[in-house]
Structure 1
Amino acid sequence: MKIQYLVIALVFALLSVGCSDKKDELQAQQTSVSKEQTLTKELTKKKKYKIPLDSSRIVTLKDFDPNDSISVGVRAFRAAKKEFVKRWNYTKDTDLFIDVVDKICLKSRHCAAMMDSVAYKNDVTFILDSLMRNNLLDKAIEERKKEMNGPCFGKNYKKNKKKCDDESEERIRKKVIEELKKRRMKQ
């Protein structure tokens, strides 16, 4: 009888040792599988956000890399410019389009953020189409060229520093005076 108890105890001991080895193996396999899954997810995320600057892919706010925000807008602008040139068969200089569009966005029309490239592309397309329909695009580009060749731009600024600084101070002073007058009239 004692031998039977001893044999039974030995069998249970062997079974429990064998089972614990299997549990350890299963846990090791599960952790290695979960590590592989997280690594593949991280790699796919990194691959997803790596979009080269010369790519024609347009992205939305939900799938862009925040470190890539400038190039996202540039890509959207290039795509809009390409569509515009194709649609209107525009053969003249297109280098200053971005300057003209930026000035319009700053002064007279609020444009979408460059990070939301789909909306920004639509705004750029709308502005360029409107300028072309109203025969104002060529005039706007010529004005920008004149401004760039003016006495207070680029290399010419250093030559005419005193004059340019005085002009900008005078413009600022006039704007402040106009703003104060508007506020007084409202009160």
Structure 2
Amino acid sequence: MKTKYLIFAIAFAIFCAGCSEKKEKSQDQQQTDVPATKTSAKKKTKAKNPKIPLDSSQILTYKDIDQSDSIMVGIRAFDAAEKEFVKRWNYAKDTDLFIDIVGKICRESRKCASRLDSVAYKNDVASILDSLMHNNLLDAAVEARIQEMNGPCFGDNYNKNKKKCDEESEERVRKMVIEDLKRNREK
């Protein structure tokens, strides 16, 4: 066990040392390179915060987008799926809680694509909303979310009922862990 840690520490030290080394140029080389870098830098400049189209088949990574915009990729995909759903089903009711409902389904019932993969996430959101509407469960899900938001363990009410809410939360987590362990054993 100690040898594994020792090997890991050595490998990490080598990796860090390799990343931190920089080649130093003489001042003559730097002066001759300055005009070339200025022209090449102008050609390579990109928009500071590029919007990636939702229909792009590219799987996005954090390097592809601005860090402050990473959550916006998923929100844009969700908004596009929501607009298509409203148009397809002529849905005239409130859609503000759709993101909560889809998020809860993705956490508890099924695996959804990463929000950074905008195309796959948009397709998952659309299929969830279509399935709920097709089975006449969407309005019931919205009502259940409203009831949950007005419940004793949400928002300001949480502090009033802290002990009870913490116990319920621990019980839910315990059940989820037991279910995950059972699924993993069955595989």
1:13-24 equivalences in 2 (<5 Å): none
For these two proteins, the number of residue pairs brought into alignment is 150
Q: 1:129 to 1:179 in 2, by over 3 A?
A: closer
Q: Secondary structure at the match of 1:51?
A: coil
Amino acid at match of 2:114: A
Residue in 2 that maps onto 1:140: 141
Q: Distance in 1 between matches of 2:94 and 2:154?
A: 20
Residue in 2 that maps onto 1:61: 59
RMSD in angstroms over aligned alpha carbons? 3.0
Structure of greater Rg: 1
Q: Distance in 1 between matches of 2:59 and 2:111?
A: 18
1:78 paired with 2:74, answer no
Residue in 2 that maps onto 1:40: 43
Q: Alignment identity in percent?
A: 60
Cα offset, 1:31, TM superposition: 6.8
Amino acid at match of 2:81: A
Cα offset, 1:163, TM superposition: 1.8
Q: Distance in 1 between matches of 2:104 and 2:180?
A: 21
Q: Distance in 2 between matches of 1:84 and 1:179?
A: 32
Are the counterparts in 1 of residues 59 and 117 from structure 2 also a CA contact under 8 Å? yes
**Under a length normalisation based on structure 1, what TM-score does the superposition of the two structures give?**
0.68
**Under a length normalisation based on structure 2, what TM-score does the superposition of the two structures give?**
0.68
In structure 1, the gaps of 5 or more residues are 1-27
Q: 1:32 to 1:170 in 2, by over 3 A?
A: closer
In structure 2, the gaps of 5 or more residues are 1-31
Q: Which has the higher helix share?
A: 1
